[in-house]
Structure 1
């Protein structure tokens, strides 16, 4: 069914007779109550200095441009956004382009994180396209003196089929700018979609494969300097620096210190890298200096600690376990991980007396601006941020530490500076996925029904390492979830699908342990619990039971669960970022060794905007999930990571990637997140399949380093 959408002049800004003619249609990205934006004159438009919230431009040649505010790091947002606009506009896709917007305070959510870009902008973009289309049709109706109801649109053309007349959007753009913004617009029925749901190639494919300068590392400004920073181990602070030898080396302009860091500044990356190696630096202890052995001991102590932060409690947990016919206990552990984006950290800063210019790859440009303003004690309005394409982020670029390094150095040397991290810098000075250990307990009655459930999360800097309202909460009468934490000088932060990236593996593996103890099929065991939650919910339920059941059933159907001979299947399902993903991992035994051959995945993320982009997000998340569950491990000794580059920090290899079969539930709801939800259930699906094949339960990541798996591979 189509949707009537009300607009106001505060939602849209149209500028007539723009540079070269045509229609500028600015639209509000966040709320209908936003303040009216002033209309700018032609000279301002031509100069390109109009401050829109964001805007859609239709030129007289029919070219349609949309400025995308969200940083692009591979989630395909620069393709999805214009697709949504073009769909409602009935545009010719060959005449649609998108450009990256600079940071502008008028945007509400100018960031990449939490799988929220498309869900946030879905309706806003549709309204923008539909409003422009309506104005173009009204312009054509006025020219032809016919009712607008007799007109239709297709591929950038307005048709009056009765008289077989047509006009292109470019021909109508200037006239359309004179049309009042309609009070209501009609959105398409999804059955009429022509672009949405189809596989559309990334709009930057050609630029990427031909090496166009898109990324932060590509950015170059004539006269800028390069800098590399030496950082202390975690728990140490700077004591003294001897920089004489470094300063005497070719191309070196200066060596400066700030906080606990030393920066070498020069005319090329190679020169500053070699000079940094010549620094003689002394450090002294500032806090705890920790190693992995310390973390293992600390987390075990936390699990046994009497006090904890209670996250959720339903029923009488103590009585349920006291009277249980059977109790199952298990512990699962996940290590620190590096984000390891292919493009290491880098940023450009030019601190001038009149303001600051920032250019580079950031997931949170507003944070970069505000932290810069705070550091320099200047108004945020004096800081501009230009966003480049990101060569990966996975949460690492949500922080602004690397941005502030560039600001600090530029401010000290009074010149434009680009700070570049090496891979070793990235591994040793990064912000990591927290290390966590979980303890689970489940109580079964005499009929093997789950009557009690306990989960404790013990973490290094994870905060709440649980998701207390996720399944099976609401399906168990007696439940206790709590957490404890150790504060460490080792910096941690969001890592793709924060918390759930490792919690899902532990929960879903333990769920299989409980199903086995109960003598029940793992898939049916989960479905029965969901049916119980729907019929007799316990406490608050914050997940959609039917959506979760839908992906479970679809994944099981596609994988022919339990029907294949010589194939060992493992199941997992998880809810994160408003989406649901179920997976079946398949392992076969070849020459006496288990081999992961295939992953079946079913996702419910609402309407799929770009089918090829969605498949890539699913496959990328699954590969990421397999690789880090199997191989990823970051250990510490004396406050520094033991692994410093990819020769010791193991990533998945091409030959280790199984076949992946991606399927989507078509339920017609508005889009939900997809950049992260495919990763969490992967570890559990793989671990449960390996258990079926080997009889060995893998409880620690990375799997490849566990003796249980080494015994059989």
Structure 2
């Protein structure tokens, strides 16, 4: 059945000339071949393409230009967004060109990449954009052919009149259609009629990436611009003195300037900057808040043992449940600081002039970049343009605008366009990290092994609320207490892929396995029992969909043949985050006395899968990311400085260590939910639980490789 929906006026404003007059990059696409790149100037696009709404234009030649508003950092949004518009438009995908839109808050809502929220937010808006343009094209064709609009059909950019055999291409009626008024209501397709959505389409930037075309912020170049690199102070330190004589003597250096405890070396290219920065003689002094990792151990213990904590959720009589319990299980889990380590370090270009500012670069939050620039300079935001490049990763690090503001400040000081570039060491030592957290769990069991009480206290360092108090098992336990307590640190933290849940899921799911083991119950059946209780007799408010969670659990158990292969030791994990549900099973096999991680099964319920190719990659990437950071990565501090400064000391997963991954999706036909992050949280728990099954060793802290228990089991990660 088709969906009738009202249009939103701001979704259908006509495209106006973009600020800056730079280049748009467009592509001729097909669903099976790598796209062929074509560079189109702004003037060329706008002179030929007729605006239908803020998401698309069509030229009289039949070229369809679809604007992708959200920053692209590898989540495939630059491909999937246009697919949705093209679907409702009934376009021929080979005629579509995709253009990365500038920041435009008048025409787009939530022009942000973060929280896996872009697709849920934009799904209906994108569909309406395509359907509205199709309606206008059909209306124009009906007038031209002098037939009723309801007698016309569309397919692959062509309008057909079956009775007369006449047809018109979209290009032939584009001019007339673009002058019509957008309808108040529009009919959307039934999902059974989708022809583009649900088909595998390759990333529209593939060809450009494969051939090294300029797409990323690091690729951006403007004639006459200056380059800058910055020496930033350790956390908890402030600038005392600078001797820059030797640095200024390096050929190619224009100046050395200081601002806000930073020392910037400015020159004509990056190589002289690297050499000159090494020659700086800088003294710092403590501001009274310097911390080291040894301090954090003490802080965690004080927070967990302290009387003060914020109650996030309380159901029933927790004290009585634990007093009457037949058995109490108690454990602590800890996760370290982590660097975001995107492959492209932070960088940005700024050109500050008397009456306007031009910003170009990779940011997850272009509006934040603009607003912080406007606040710094005291100018109206509308005087600032933001052009988005493709992001070479972000994982939450590029939600901040610190690197943007640095470029703005230096451009203003130098009275010239400036591009700031961070080195890998800058990115690791001066970044904003995943917060470190320690959790204390307690569970009360009755004589039959039923969980009658549950307590969780999360202690975080700059973590905010380190719990997700309304996630499972909340709602399934009669007596429950969830608390959060935080320590404020000078170490800057930031959302890190699947914020909080990236480590909370591992801890919760590993602890639930401990409880199931103590109750002498199968871990999968134990979770299903809790969910059935939540379904039949919910306790308090339940903010997750019980049936969807049960669905992924049962399908994961089926696909992995849970418990049916005596040679395998299996670990289970399931989690709800960013509106989606993911269940995972890890297989560990004993080979010559050593456990070997063989395979991970993943079942995801994220609603309609727009692009199966991109979706599959998101799940696999999330699992590899989750596994690698749970196994290896750690960031420790000494006197406010991270000890790990590059990939030689900050361990990431290697290709040979990735096991076989089998991906499945639940086909339920609901509107799409998040996918960029939900596959990461369950991975650590599934692996830890499988390792326990195989070895009897509990892994309660990340990274696993630094635990004594891990060193005793000789786990083999190489896929065999």
TM-score, length of structure 1 as denominator length: 0.94
Matched residues in 2 for 1:270 and 1:7: separation? Answer: 53
Mapped partners of 2:101, 2:257: distance in 1: 34
Partner of residue 35, structure 1: none
Query: Aligned equivalents of 1:14 and 1:139: distance in 2?
Result: 18
Q: Distance in 2 between matches of 1:674 and 1:45?
A: 32
Q: Which residue of 1 aligns with 2:527?
A: 526
1:133-177 Cα shifts (integer Å, max 9, x gaps): 122222222222222222211111111223322211111212323
What is the Cα deviation at residue 11 of structure 1? Answer: 4.9
Aligned to 1:198: 199
Distance 1:56 1:214 in 2: 21
The aligned residue for residue 87 of structure 1 is 87
Cα distance, 1:415 vs. partner?
1.2
Change in Cα spacing, 1:409 to 1:464, as seen in structure 2 (3 Å) is: same
**Cα distance, 1:659 vs structure 2:** 1.0
Q: Match of 1:684, SS?
A: helix
CA deviations on 1:226-269 (whole Å, 9 max, x unpaired) are: 11100111111000001011111111100000011100001110
Q: Which residue of 2 aligns with 1:604?
A: 605
**CA distance in structure 1 between the partners assigned to 2:14 and 2:309 by the alignment:** 57
Aligned 1:41-52 pairs, distance under 5 A: none
In structure 2, the residue matched to 1:143 is: 144
Question: 1:420-446 deviations in whole A, cap 9, x for unaligned?
Answer: 111001110000000000000000011
Counterpart contact for 2:316–2:480, Cα < 8 Å: yes
Q: Which residue of 2 aligns with 1:2?
A: 2
Q: Cα–Cα, structure 1 residues 259 and 447, in superposed 2: closer, same or farther, change >3 Å?
A: same
Could you report, residue by residue, the CA deviation over 1:79-132 in whole angstroms, capped at 9, with x for unpaired residues? Answer: 111100111111100011111111122122111001011111111111111111
Partners of 2:9 and 2:684 in 1: CA distance: 50
- SS of residue paired to 2:684: helix
Question: Which residue number in structure 2 is paired with residue 696 of structure 1?
Answer: 697
1:503 corresponds in structure 2 to: 504
Provide the rounded CA distance (Å) in 2 between the counterparts of 1:538 and 1:577. Answer: 22
Partners in 2 of 1:270 and 1:48 — Cα distance?
42
Structure-2 change in CA distance of 1:49 and 1:397 (3 Å):
farther
Describe the superposition over 1:478-537 as per-residue Cα deviations: whole angstroms up to 9, x where unpaired: 000001111111111100000000000000000000001001111111111011011111
User: What does residue range 569-588 of structure 1 map to in structure 2 within 5 Å?
Assistant: 569-588=570-589
Tell me, which stretches of 5 or more residues in structure 2 are unaligned? 17-42, 715-720
Correspondence 1:187-336 to 2 at 5 A:
187-336=188-337
Matches within 5 A, 1:83-162: 83-106=83-106, 107-162=108-163
Quick one: distance in 1 between partners of 2:155 and 2:490?
59
Tell me the matched-pair count: 687
Alignment match, 2:64: 64
Mark the CA change 1:46 to 1:93 in structure 2 (over 3 Å): closer, same or farther: closer
Shift of 1:9: 6.1
Which position in structure 2 is the counterpart of 1:427?
428
Aligned to 1:40: none
**Residue correspondence of structure 1 range 610-621 to structure 2 within 5 A:** 610-621=611-622
What SS does the aligned partner of 2:339 have? coil
Deviations 1:535-557 (A, max 9, x none): 11111111110111111111111
Give me the CA root mean square deviation: 1.8
Q: Quote the Cα distance in structure 2 between the aligned partners of 1:156 and 1:48.
A: 17
**Which blocks of at least 5 consecutive residues in structure 1 are unaligned?**
17-42
Is the contact made by 2:695 and 2:713 (CA closer than 8 Å) also made in structure 1? yes
- Cα contact 1:231–1:260 (8 A) shared by 2: yes
- Inter-CA distance 654–8: structure 2 relative to 1 (3 Å threshold): closer
Question: Structure 1 residues 229, 178: closer, same or farther in 2, change over 3 A?
Answer: closer
Query: Cα gap change, 1:706/1:317 in structure 2, threshold over 3 Å: closer, same or farther?
Result: same
Judge conservation of contact 2:49–2:65 (CA < 8 Å) in 1. Answer: no
Residue 10 of structure 1, CA deviation? 6.0
On the 8 A contact 1:44/1:50 being kept in 2, the answer is: no
Distance 1:304 1:9, change over 3 A: closer
Distance of 1:99 and 1:10 partners within structure 2: 20
- State the Cα distance separating 1:14 from its structure 2 match: 5.9
Q: Say if 1:53 and 1:104, in contact at 8 Å, map to a contact too.
A: no
Q: Tell me, in whole angstroms, the C-alpha distance in 2 between the residues paired with 1:192 and 1:634.
A: 50
Aligned to 2:617, the other structure's residue is in SS state: helix
Q: Distance in 2 between the 1:173 and 1:291 partners?
A: 64
- Equivalent residues in 2 for 1:265-664, closer than 5 Å: 265-664=266-665
Q: How far apart, in 1, do the equivalents of 2:184 and 2:110 lie?
A: 26
Q: Is the 8 A contact 1:15 1:177 kept in 2?
A: no
Shift of 1:224: 0.7
Distance change in 2, residues 1:254/1:47 (3 Å): farther
Instruction: Give the Cα–Cα distance (whole angstroms) in 1 for the partners of residues 697 and 585 of structure 2.
Output: 18
Residue 678 of structure 2 corresponds to: 677
Q: Distance in 2 between matches of 1:357 and 1:283?
A: 34
1:363-406: CA deviation from partner (whole Å, max 9, x where unpaired): 00111111111112222222211111000000000001111111
In the alignment, is the contact (CA less than 8 A) between 2:48 and 2:59 conserved in 1? no
Deviation track 1:589-624 (CA, whole Å, cap 9, x = no partner) reads 223222211111111111111110111111111100
Q: Deviations over 1:48-84 (max 9, x none)?
A: 9999982310111111112111100001111111100
- Hey, what's the Cα distance between the residues in 2 that align with 1:349 and 1:135? 40
**Residues 457 and 53 of structure 1: CA distance in aligned 2, closer, same or farther (over 3 Å):** farther
1:8·1:181 contact (CA, 8 Å) conserved in 2? no
**Contact 2:50/2:59 (CA < 8 Å) preserved in 1?**
no
Classify the secondary structure of the residue corresponding to 1:227.
strand
Contact 2:73 2:390 in 1 (8 A): yes
Contact 1:14–1:177 under 8 Å retained in 2:
no
Q: Counterpart of 1:583 in 2: which secondary structure?
A: strand
Contact 1:138/1:176 (8 A) holds in 2? yes
